[in-house]
Homo-oligomer: A and B are copies of this chain.
Amino acid sequence: MGVKKMLISNPLLEAFKQTNYQISGHGKRNIQVLQKVLMDLNGEIDSDHYGNGAIIENFQMKLANFLGKEAAVFFPSGTMAQQIALRIWCDEKGSNKVAYHPLSHLEIHEEDGLKELHHIEPVLLADKSRVIELDDVVNMEGDISCLLLELPQREIGGQLPDYETLEQISNFCRSKGIKLHLDGARLFEILPYYQKSAAEICALFDSVYVSFYKGIGGIAGAILAGDKDFTEKSKVWKRRHGGDLISLYPYIISSDFYFDERVHKMDRYFEDAKELASFFNQCNTISTLPLEPVSNMFHVHINVAKEQLEPLLIAIYQETGIGITSYLTEINKDSCYFEVSIGDQYAKIPKEDLKKVFKSLNELLGVRPPLL
């Protein structure tokens, strides 16, 4: 009964699930993702124990080195890691004001944890449609302890500032005694665009968070990196938050496994994203944001009402066996969008089949009465 109800209530998702290929991601998030990691590991490897033990310490050191930071701490989530980073910088400066983008994860996806648990007040920089620029930072008001930059800015299609802007913002913050924190949930994904190493980018920041289930495709987990004094404080807060689990190894071993498997594939995902975006941009009524991707992700905006588009997409999925998106988000009554994030799956789609998808999409959108 439950399944039947779902079929009726979300036909796009159900049609998507029936496809043979999907353009986004690395594949299904099922328990095989974990089974694959464990298969070849020696069962005698000891669990971590409340943050101690080789299995956690080695991975933390590996990521500290990769990010060019003195030390790193593994966290169950970025939500926890980033609130803690901002809290440490606020306590150090004695001001509870931080600055970030109005569409920051902390502002829209965390049930106001930063405010409710830490009583930190954010100052919102820039408007929702664009990234934070140097002017926004120079003109910040109030005694800001820390500025958080999210690279790429996920909620607006993964846009990025120029690298020069990053350097200028970093210099400005250092000159004013403002800490700079990197929300690098998708840091690995932007290295090909900037043509920089992770360590080069992180050198501009005082603290850095990276995630292991976005481009890396792990199960969950995050690393928070910075100098040793900072990371030691973060361990105390990790315990306070309830994140200092007796065993975090299921997330650590999977993060490590998929980091090794995919961190070097980011160039490929980036090239694929640019190719795919160009296919979308050749379609009637469709444009991507950004027009040319700067990472493995972008948003697809369609000037068609969500309820008009859904049956067209379902028809394409059924005809081609290729899933474009499992959902559509309404912008207004005449337009909607969805997110694309390229992983291993895109390259598996036969190019001929992909061309059919866009031919069908263009025809279905084109033959409709003018929509604008």
Contact = CB atoms under 8 A, between A and B. Distances in A.
Interface of A: 28-35, 38, 41-47, 49, 75-81, 83, 110-113, 116-118, 213, 219-220, 236-237, 239-251, 253
15 contacts: A31-B38, A31-B41, A31-B249, A34-B38, A34-B250, A111-B239, A113-B240, A113-B241, A219-B247, A219-B249, A220-B246, A220-B247, A241-B241, A241-B243, A242-B243
The 4 A-B pairs with the shortest beta carbon distances in the complex, nearest first, are: A80-B242, A32-B43, A113-B240, A250-B250
Contacts of A38: 31, 34-35, 38
A360 B214 CA distance: 57
Contact of A76 (B31, B81, B237, B245): B245
B43 A35 contact: yes
Contacts of A248: 220
Contacts of A41: 31, 35
Given A247-B213, A250-B251, A241 B33 contact: no
Among A44, A81, A240, A243, the one with the most B-chain Cβ atoms within 10 Å of its Cβ is A240
A354 to B, nearest CB: 26
A241 B35 contact: no
Contacts of A239: 79, 110-111, 113
Nearest to A251: B250
Contact of A241 (B29, B44, B117, B253): B117
A81 B43 contact: no
B30 A44 contact: yes
A305 to B, nearest CB: 27
B31 A253 contact: yes
Nearest to A109: B239
B44 A242 contact: no
A78 B241 CA distance: 11
A76 B240 contact: no
A293 B113 CA distance: 42
B44 A77 contact: no
Given A38-B31, A245-B76, A110 B43 contact: no
Contacts of A240: 110-113, 116-117
Contacts of A247: 29, 213, 219-220
Among A237, A240, A242, the one with the most B-chain Cβ atoms within 10 Å of its Cβ is A242
B30 A43 contact: yes
Contacts of A35: 38, 41, 43
Nearest to A242: B80
A38 B30 CA distance: 12
Among A29, A239, A245, the one with the most B-chain Cβ atoms within 10 Å of its Cβ is A245
A219 to B, nearest CB: 5
Given A29-B47, A76-B242, A110-B240, 20 more contacts: A28-B46, A29-B246, A29-B247, A31-B43, A31-B47, A32-B43, A33-B47, A35-B38, A80-B241, A80-B242, A83-B242, A111-B237, A111-B239, A113-B240, A113-B242, A117-B118, A219-B247, A219-B250, A220-B245, A250-B250
B44 A32 contact: yes
